[in-house]
Amino acid sequence: MHKLRFRFSKTGRARYISHLDLMATIQRAMLRSNIKLEYSSGFNPHPYMSVALPLPVGCGSSCELMDIGIKTDVQPDKLPESINAQLPEGIIIHEAYVPVRKFKEIAWIEIEGVFCYDEQEPLNAAAALYERFSAKSIIISKRTKRGFNNVDIAPFIRDTSFSGNGPVTIKAKLSAQDPSLNPGNLLSALEGDFTGLRPDHTDMTRVEVYDGKMTIFT
């Protein structure tokens, strides 16, 4: 079996494709490209495919990582072009290569996006949002393996910035694993006394992944 890693983007309308549908979409694209996949054994064989950090539905990304096992003997750099021809709009494979690091080494994700308000934007929204997410403690209710628990996410957010009027632009780095945070967790921090800062709509994109030393993970 050849194990390859794909670095790909999921943008536009493809943001609303679920994780399971994404896996099926890429699987079909590879089969149409005459790439034979490696399957597990047993009564219910499935292809060896895994995504590093599955995206929430509605969130885009320009830095997704997927490992996949294939039987076909191919040159990795030749794969993106042939597979992309079979993929729907918004899903693009940018690189294919032999992985040397494990997904468990990913520690941080970088996100960018906008907070949009249907009515008048809260007064000094960018400054107020920065103050909220710079607090020493930010307690939210977060789903864990044992149900919902109160979690302080402040230690797991860094390099936040907010700017602009109209939509407010946000940039931040969030913990990727143990615990894993996503843009929805940021919205959970805008409850209670901070409800007035909660946007009506968001448009968020994951733009990079890092290891514990803040080196870009590949």
Domain boundaries, the chain: 2-100, 106-211
> In the prediction, which pLDDT does 195 show?
92
pLDDT tens-digit readout, 151-197: 999 999 999 999 987 799 999 999 999 899 999 999 999 998 999 99
> In the prediction, which pLDDT does 165 show?
78
Assess whether the previous peptide bond of 179 is cis (omega < 30° from 0): yes
Residue 170 corresponds to which tokens in the numbers above?
């946000």
User: How far apart are the C-alpha atoms of 64 and 106, rounded to whole Å?
Assistant: 12
- CATH number belonging to the domain at 106-211, selected among 3.10.450, 2.60.40, 3.30.70, 2.30.30: 3.30.70
Element (H, E) at 29: helix 19-32
Q: Which residues of the chain have pLDDT under 50?
A: none
> In the prediction, which pLDDT does 26 show?
95
User: How far apart are the C-alpha atoms of 52 and 6, rounded to whole Å?
Assistant: 10
User: What 3-state DSSP class applies to 101?
Assistant: coil
The reply to whether 2-100 and 106-211 are identical in fold is yes
User: How far apart are the C-alpha atoms of 32 and 30, rounded to whole Å?
Assistant: 5
> In the prediction, which pLDDT does 120 show?
80
pTM > 0.75: yes
Burial of 90 (0-12, 13-18, 19+ CB in 10 A): middle
> In the prediction, which pLDDT does 1 show?
60
* Burial track 185-199 (b if 16+ CB lie within 10 A, e otherwise): bbbbbbeeebeebeb
Fold of the CATH domain 2-100: Alpha-Beta Plaits (3.30.70)
